[in-house]
Amino acid sequence: MSGTQAKASPSDIRISNITAAFEQLFPATQMSRANIGKLIGLSRFTTSEVTGEMVDNRILRELGPDNREGRGKRSQVLAIDTDFWRIVSVDLSNPMLVKGALADLSGRIVDRTELPVDHGCSVNDVIDLCRQLISSTPLPTLGIGIAVTGIVEPNGVVRKSVHLGWSELPLKTEVENATGVPVIVGNDTNAALVAERFFGDCSPNSMLISIGRGVGAALCLNDVIIEGSSFTAGEIAHVVVDPNGPICECGKQGCLESFVSGDRLQQRISQDPAARTHILTEAGALLGRVMAIPAGLLDLRDISVYGAPEIVNTQFIDAMENEISRTVTTDYQEAPQIHRCRQGEDLTLRGQATIVIRTLVPTIHERGSLIGEA
């Protein structure tokens, strides 16, 4: 790093002001212009200029003057404008069924569609679904978000998705070239955590653990999703937790996945239905024990667990919570709260739409022609 700090350009300042104002209102807060200015530390004039531009660009809408008592001009109440921009969100976490949706600027799903892909999902399937959703509305598309199971690089290349049988696939470039719309590709567990953060139980320092065919995690620290040095943060399935455990399909012995994946637990329960409660309690406790070190290390507030309700049930969550509480709590550190993720199947779609919204809203002014056309 250089010793002198580069001066922020007017365009950087504009972007950071828009971002700050948007964060006060996303997803569904109503607030007066005066209060927004106070909270983000801008003068009355600058707040008026920033929010005025956001209203012109259909990011915010005016709800009318506030009913403040006393002297002085009453301040306009603002909220996110959900009647204009649309976001296409695609969930590729099920390799046999591509799910797509249109979301509004508050991250709410307003329309959805599905495409069965019995022979596996191709890039053309994804492009077809995106085109179908874009043409289903007269409103302009802000961007496309695609959530993929696997390792995704920041440039939108899917480095590896065992699930989809893809490697080194430049998904972002291919879908952008075909649709002419900005595309953001990300990991599906990260998208799920973003949804839990904005619409569920997670705070700025939290983790989401997804239990399905395998087991994966996503981590959020101070409201930043952590990708790691090679974009594989959260890939915990094949970390060995018991060197004497069962042989895993990856060749190692005692991987986390061989103890707590949904598939593995379903299989054990079907072999011994009477032991169901015991199996789930044991698995929850193991997960609590394994997560105690990251929870203490990072001072996490919340861990949300997503999975089929017959696996991630009350017994599983209670066992995990008891174990993590017992092992982490001291007189100076609290254990995180463990939540069963209560959001339904839209979790990933809403999360990926939210990532698109938060990334692209600050530069919406560059899309001026779309605002004029609609």
Q: Which residues bind Zn ion (CB under 5 A)?
A: 238, 248, 250, 252, 255
Closest CB to Zn ion among residues 141, 258: 258
| Phi, psi dihedral angles at 207 (to 5 degrees) | -135, 145
Select 47 or 210, whichever has its Cβ closest to Zn ion. 210
Q: How far is the CB of 260 from Zn ion (least distance, A)?
A: 12
Q: Which is nearer to Zn ion, 117 or 256 (CB)?
A: 256
| Strands (E) located in 34-170 | 60-65, 76-80, 86-92, 97-103, 109-116, 141-148, 151-152, 158-161, 166-169
Q: How far apart are CB 263 and Zn ion at their closest, in Å?
A: 13
CA–CA separation, 236 vs 215, rounded Å?
7
Buried b (16+ CB within 10 A) or exposed e, 45-74: eebbebbebbeebbbbbeeeebeeeeeeee
Q: If 0-12 CB within 10 Å is exposed, 13-18 middle and 19+ buried, where does residue 97 land?
A: middle
Nearer to Zn ion, 153 or 242 (CB): 242
Burial (CB < 10 A; 0-12, 13-18, 19+), residue 331, is exposed
Q: For residue 289, how many C-alpha atoms fall within 13 Å in the half-sphere facing its CB? A: 11
**Least distance in angstroms from the C-beta of 199 to Zn ion:** 32
In angstroms, the CA 236 to CA 240 distance is 9
Nearer of residues 248 and 349 to Zn ion, judged by Cβ: 248
3-class secondary-structure state, position 352? helix
Tell the smallest beta-carbon distance from residue 211 to Zn ion (Å).
Answer: 15
**CB 160 to Zn ion: min, Å:** 15
Considering the complex, what minimum distance in angstroms separates the CB of residue 266 from Zn ion?
18
Other CB atoms within a 10 A radius of the CB of residue 243 amount to 8
CB of 261 to Zn ion, least distance (A): 10
Least distance from C-beta 252 to Zn ion, angstroms?
Answer: 5
Secondary structure (H, E, C), 19-57? HHHHHHHCCCCCEEHHHHHHHHCCCHHHHHHHHHHHHHC
Identity of the residue, 249 or 331, whose beta carbon is nearer to Zn ion in the bound complex? 249
Q: How far is the CB of 257 from Zn ion (least distance, A)?
A: 6
Query: Which tokens sit at 107?
Result: 């991250």
**Residue number with CB closer to Zn ion (248 or 291):** 248
Q: CA 40, CA 54: separation in Å to the nearest integer?
A: 15
> Rounded to an integer, what distance in angstroms lies between the CA atom of residue 48 and that of residue 75?
10
Token couple for 46: 């600058």
Closer of 8 and 250 to Zn ion (Cβ): 250
Instruction: Write down the residue that tokens 């949804």 correspond to.
Output: 195
Shortest spacing between CB 209 and Zn ion, in angstroms: 17
Q: Which is nearer to Zn ion, 254 or 296 (CB)?
A: 254
CB within 8 A of 215, min separation 6: which ones?
209, 236, 237, 256, 257, 260, 261, 262
Of the pair 38, 252, the CB lying nearest Zn ion is at 252
Contact 156, 177 (CB under 8 A): no
